[in-house]
Structure 1
């Protein structure tokens, strides 16, 4: 019932169970789906967290407590507390006898949290450990997003797309796995500057995921807004943004920066450049405050693409947290924009294009042309 989006019915069924007569194994079999249902399907994350703590006080075996802790770490990640998610995962994974389900939750949440924090070297081993567990299920897509995020930060765009395609193909036609896989593919397509292809995938995927309570739903709508706005589709992007904002909440707080970037591109499309830049800056600062430094770098670069001449300063304050190829190129772009350096912008455009970020490359090239034109006007005035 829960995975069909029928969270209230699921809660009614589970709430009618007399837990006093249950063994610990039965209690766990009842508690885990109920907590997940409360967090995702009912959008009641605080209630789900308290519920997990209550159940933890009733169990005695280490394996049960480790499993409950692992799920609480997954909740922390989705709520945007990536530092806490990694801390919990480290404790869970330190137990050699941790149950496979606990390993799957802990390793997948640590992988994605680490990727978004900019701890890129940690991602690969965590991805491997999560996929080797007996219960990856839909968690494999969390792992997929972690792997893709790390690949994009290392400017391996083709490898990122291939990874997304493999995760999507694994789901075949089974939903909601197929839709989540298409969100992964669209994420890479957006990075590559292929907004039309991304929107084509995201439209149906967002509708499918809207019927579930997964945090993938708001993320899909945020990406869809961005993809439509990049194509200048004013009405459609406004509708998608409205849906994204209404679906977003604590359960999808991890992806709040993506919603901010969607808002920025929507504002840019309607010609409100100051508000667009303010929205992008807000997304970058939000990501940095939450420890999502890799995402903050991406957000500051989006701000530079929109014409923010102060993006270089924002990026410089966090670049040391994310030493990678993407950070280097993004900083070069932002610095050249700040300086009005036409040659520097042209070089950044070439580097971005070579790395597979065609959309950002086109923006940098346009800015290079603008800088050249501004210099000529200045020379004529002088």
Structure 2
């Protein structure tokens, strides 16, 4: 690979998409090979320029190519279709057709790793974990497959409530050679785990580390979403809204599932701040952007609806929407997310959240679940003093109560 292309690949791994694009384009214009074109396509795709990336990849004829070249083109093309072109079903079918074409175990493991990532984003984290486990158990799986599978397992384990497995998956993902933006998937899994443990100091350190690595868009915007996620857990919705107000429009210009998530979080933060008009506008944007590729975050969208209704003094509707979000999380296997959703229902005035929180707390064994169940029992008993005492335990840990 020419020096420009090598430098472009290094910039890509570091998450500097602008530099990666510039160097890769120079290499292609100087007659660079397939590797140069692939770096250019990925740099374009990760900036949200899916059509430009597809044009670069469409110029590559893999009809008589080696299996290695088929894989080299197929993987970024499938990812680009899933996220940037918003064609998840077409991307999944395309990836399946490529898997039927290749025979090398390493190639199949890599395809399976990307399939696991697709399953996660499409809202099936349990299936994603199952596919990823096969990849991580395969000795022939290359580093990129391990990175995808382990980062997917990190976030899925956190959201499904297998909190004790998160750090091991995160360490394996970080140890693998992986594209720069996967660090934010890993980070969200770690942050979810730290929040469920009510360890906000650790969460703030994780956010600071990720922010320090994010010098360019879209990494900078994703890091701001993660910062806002922690701020909201601490009850600082105003500061979170400030960050998300810039991050959400930036990510909206890309195809990442971070975009719909950022709009949902922003709608929630604005509603909690009492800005009903902006919350309603933002919620509408979140609903329009949400789809299969961001189905993992459907519970967050449901909670945004609940808080928007509460801001409009529709308390009955707010409780109903929070319950629906919690049940949605449970149906998709996201037990840890369900715990937080049921506790939001308690905060919104639900007197009947104790039973589901008791049930979930037996599987999601963490401080947050235990405190949420305690608050729910106090609310169910109608004892304002007991509820104030229970919620003060969250406040003592720096958490929104």
TM-score, normalised to structure 2, is 0.87
The match for 1:249 among 291, 310, 313 is: 291
Per the TM alignment, residue 320 of structure 1 is displaced from its structure 2 partner at its CA by: 1.6
Task: Specify the alignment match of 1:158 in structure 2.
Answer: 201
- Quick check: 2:54–2:80 contact (8 Å CA) kept in 1? yes
The match for 1:127 among 150, 170, 178 is: 170
Aligned length: 358
The match for 1:149 among 177, 181, 192 is: 192
Structure 2 counterpart SS, 1:57? helix
Distance 2:256 2:217 in 1: 12
Task: Specify the alignment match of 1:180 in structure 2.
Answer: 222
Distance 2:397 2:63 in 1: 59
Per the TM alignment, residue 7 of structure 1 is displaced from its structure 2 partner at its CA by: 1.7
The match for 1:99 among 119, 142, 150 is: 142
Distance 2:388 2:108 in 1: 56
For 1:328-347, list aligned pairs within 5 A: 328-347=370-389
Distance 1:43 1:308 in 2: 37
The match for 1:17 among 49, 60, 84 is: 60
- Quick check: 2:47–2:217 contact (8 Å CA) kept in 1? no
For 1:295-334, list aligned pairs within 5 A: 295-334=337-376
Task: Specify the alignment match of 2:119 in structure 1.
Answer: 76
Distance 1:135 1:349 in 2: 41
Per the TM alignment, residue 349 of structure 1 is displaced from its structure 2 partner at its CA by: 2.1
Deviates more, 1:141-150 or 1:14-23: 14-23
Task: Specify the alignment match of 1:225 in structure 2.
Answer: 267
- Which deviations, in whole Å up to 9, do the C-alpha atoms of 1:227-267 show, x marking residues without a partner? 10011001111111011111000000000000000110011
Distance 1:317 1:271 in 2: 30
Structure 1 counterpart SS, 2:127? helix
Per the TM alignment, residue 136 of structure 1 is displaced from its structure 2 partner at its CA by: 4.2
Structure 2 counterpart SS, 1:317? helix
- Which deviations, in whole Å up to 9, do the C-alpha atoms of 1:265-317 show, x marking residues without a partner? 01100111111111100000000011000000000000000001111122223
Runs of at least 5 residues in structure 2 that lack an aligned partner in the other structure:
1-43
Task: Specify the alignment match of 1:294 in structure 2.
Answer: 336
Task: Specify the alignment match of 2:252 in structure 1.
Answer: 210
Distance 2:341 2:195 in 1: 14
Task: Specify the alignment match of 1:115 in structure 2.
Answer: 158
Distance 2:376 2:109 in 1: 45
Task: Specify the alignment match of 1:62 in structure 2.
Answer: 105
Runs of at least 5 residues in structure 1 that lack an aligned partner in the other structure:
361-382
- Quick check: 2:105–2:140 contact (8 Å CA) kept in 1? no
**Residue 50 in structure 1 maps to residue 106 in structure 2:** no
**Residue 266 in structure 1 maps to residue 304 in structure 2:** no
Structure 2 counterpart SS, 1:80? coil
Distance 2:179 2:162 in 1: 22
- Quick check: 2:114–2:149 contact (8 Å CA) kept in 1? yes
Distance 1:4 1:176 in 2: 6
TM-score, normalised to structure 1, is 0.92
Per the TM alignment, residue 16 of structure 1 is displaced from its structure 2 partner at its CA by: 4.2
Task: Specify the alignment match of 1:35 in structure 2.
Answer: 78
**Residue 3 in structure 1 maps to residue 46 in structure 2:** yes
Task: Specify the alignment match of 1:379 in structure 2.
Answer: none
Structure 1 counterpart SS, 2:101? coil
Structure 2 counterpart SS, 1:21? coil
Distance 2:212 2:332 in 1: 33
